[in-house]
Amino acid sequence: MADQTLDTLILAPARSAGYWQNVGARLLRDKTAMAAGSVLLLLTLAAIFAPIIAPMDPLEGRLINRLQPIGSDGHLLGTDELGRDMLSRLIWGARLSLLMGVTPVVMAFILGSAIGIIAGYAGGWTNTLIMRTVDVFYAFPSVLLAVALSGALGAGLGNALLSLTVVFIPPIARVAESVTTRLRSSDFIEAARASGAGALTIVRVHVLGNVLGPIFVYATSLIAVSMILASGLSFLGLGVRPPNPEWGLMLNTLRTAIYVQPWVAALPGLMIFMVSISFNMLSDGLRSAMEVRQ
C-alpha cells in the first residue's frame, strides 16, 4: 500500500526562510485538511478527557439492559451485548484505539528514519547490508507480517504494538534512505564536508532538516493504515483484551449482534473509519502544502 507514494514524496530542497509559514498558511486555506484536523483534535480531546465527558462507566453494564437501540432512554448510542453504554465505551475506546494506531508509526518514524539516514549517509556496504535486510521485511504484505508476528508472539497490547512497529519500519526506512542518498551528493553537503564538518554535524544540521519533512508527511499517511491494522489485530483477538474498550475489539464482540441491533454493532467501525480518513486527508493536505511545485 505504501510504495507508489514514494516518488511524490521527494521534495525539492529549495526552501526559503519563510518556508514553514508558507506551509502553515497553505494548510490553513485547505478546508478539507482543516476539517480533518478538527475531527482528530476533537477525538483526541475526547480521549484525554474521557473520565469527565463519558456519561457512564465503560466497563459496567446490566444484562437486562443489553443491546438497546440508538437513541434509547439514557443511552444516546444504545448499549452493547453486555448492557454497557455505547457512547461511554466509544469515548473511552478512543484512548486505546488512538494510542494503538499512532504509537507504532511514531516508533517506526524514529527507528526507521535513523536506519534510513544511516544507510543513506554511509553508503557502500553498510547501505547494502541494511537495505537488503529492510527489503526482506518489505517482502511481506503488511497485514500478513503484522498477523504473523503478533500471532507468534501471542495476543496482547504490547505485542501488537511491537509487531506493528516492525511492519512500519521498512517503508519509512526506504523513504529516509532514498531522500538521504539523493541529498548526500548535493553541492551544499559537499561544501559542508569540504569546510571540515564531521559526519554527525552534517547529518544533524543539513540532513535531518531536509529529510524529516518528507518522512513526516509519509508517516501521517501511514497512521491511517496503522489505525486500520491495529484495530484489525484487536478485531482478530490479537490486540487489546476484553473487557477494555477498543474500537476493533468492540466491533468483534458486537459481531454476533448484527441481527439484533445492526447499527449499534457498526458504530465502532465508523469511528475507525473517521479517524483513518481524517489522517489520510490531513496527510494529503500536508503533502500539497509542502510540495514546492504546486
Partner 1 sequence: MLGYSLRRIIYTIPVLLGVSLVCFALVHISPGDPLISILPADASVELQDRLRVLYGFDRSYPEQFLLWLGRALQGDLGTSIATGRPVTAEVINAVGNTLLLAAVATFVGFVLGCFFGFVAGYFSNSPMDKAASAAAVFGVSVPHYWLGMVLVIIFSAQLGWLPASGAGPGGSSQWKLDAEHISYLILPALTMSVIPMGIIARTVRALVAEILAQEFVIGLRARGLSEFGVFLHVVKNAAPTALAVMGVQLGYLLGGSILIETVFSWPGTGMLLNSAIFQRDLPLLQGTILVLALFFVVLNLLVDIMQSALDPRIKR
* Residue from 24, 55, 123, 154 in contact with partner 1 (CB under 8 A): 154
Is there binding between residue 294 and partner 1 (CB under 8 A)?
no
Is there binding between residue 137 and partner 1 (CB under 8 A)?
yes
Is there binding between residue 117 and partner 1 (CB under 8 A)?
no
Task: Name the segment binding partner 1 (CB under 8 A); options: 21-29, 86-94, 108-116, 261-269.
Answer: 261-269
Could you give the CA distance from residue 251 to residue 257 in angstroms, rounded to a whole number? 10
* Residue from 24, 29, 129, 135 in contact with partner 1 (CB under 8 A): 135
Cell of 117: 539516514
Q: Which residues within the stretch 177-216 sit at the binding site for partner 1 (CB under 8 A)? A: none
| Look-up of cell digits 539516514 | 117
User: Residues 266, 122: contact at Cβ < 8 Å?
Assistant: no
Task: Name the segment binding partner 1 (CB under 8 A); options: 14-22, 83-91, 138-146, 211-219.
Answer: 138-146
Is there binding between residue 258 and partner 1 (CB under 8 A)?
yes
Torsion angle of C-alpha atoms 63, 68, 73, 76, degrees rounded to 10: 110
In this complex, which beta carbon is closest to partner 1, that of residue 136 or of residue 200?
A: 136
Is there binding between residue 266 and partner 1 (CB under 8 A)?
yes
| Look-up of cell digits 531522500 | 179
| Look-up of cell digits 497490547 | 157
The tally of CA atoms less than 13 A away on the side-chain side of residue 203 is 17
Helix residue ranges, H only, 4-141? 6-9, 19-29, 31-48, 50-53, 86-122, 124-138
User: Residues 33, 284: contact at Cβ < 8 Å?
Assistant: yes
Is there binding between residue 129 and partner 1 (CB under 8 A)?
no
Task: Name the segment binding partner 1 (CB under 8 A); options: 78-86, 113-121, 190-198, 273-281.
Answer: 273-281
In this complex, which beta carbon is closest to partner 1, that of residue 159 or of residue 210?
A: 159
Cα–Cα–Cα angle for 209, 213, 218, rounded to 5 degrees: 150
3-state secondary structure (DSSP) of residue 135: helix
Give the footprint of partner 1 on this chain (CB under 8 A).
Answer: 1, 3-4, 8, 132-133, 135-137, 139-144, 147-149, 151-154, 224, 227-228, 231-232, 235-238, 251, 255, 258-259, 262-263, 265-266, 268-270, 272-273, 276-277, 280-281, 284
